[in-house]
Amino acid sequence: MLLDHLKKQFALYVSSKRFLKDLSSLHFNGFIDKSSSFLVLMPEQDEDFQEAIEVVKYLITRHKSISLFLRDYRVSLLQLHERIHHIEYGIHDFNKLYLPGKQIIDEIRHRKYEVLLDLNIKENIYCTIAAIAADCNYKIGFKRQEPAGCYNFQIINNENNSAFSYRNLLNSLQMF
């Protein structure tokens, strides 16, 4: 347990030093409307995944180009759409510390996105490292225990119901 916690802290520290850039001087006025490419980190939990699809549907109705970052076994649950690309990761995409391997990090860094949406309500260190590695100006996620510098827009979540959590996120995004 302690070893796992130390591994996570070390991975977050190294990733932050290697990839994280200053996100403090951005203007959020209309950034959703002005942005066209989104990287969406999908949750692993079944209930959260099903509810998070509503956020993806919202982005599709706004004519956004979307890349979904999700587990390989989740791809079959999605309806194909021309605006959706997926970056899938499986058991072979984890390194010795159970974190994203070089190939996944390179794939995320290869593409340029304007907005990153981390839809994980619960802590997911794999996705947090992917979020840190992504080259995006706007990084949005739920407030968790990870370093606050990872996201420049955090949604405070006090709900136990994931449907309410994603509805609150959508309401927040619609303000922009």
Domain ranges of the chain: 30-174
Name the token pair of 82.
């021309």
What digits encode the pLDDT tens for the residues 20-75? 555 556 677 788 889 999 999 999 999 999 999 999 999 999 999 999 999 998 88
Alpha-carbon torsion (112, 93, 166, 21), positive or negative: negative
The pTM of the whole model exceeds 0.95: no
Cα(153)–Cα(151) distance, rounded to whole angstroms?
Answer: 5
CATH architecture of the region 30-174:
3-Layer(aba) Sandwich (3.40)
Distances (CA, A) of 76 to 47, 86, 114: 16, 11, 26
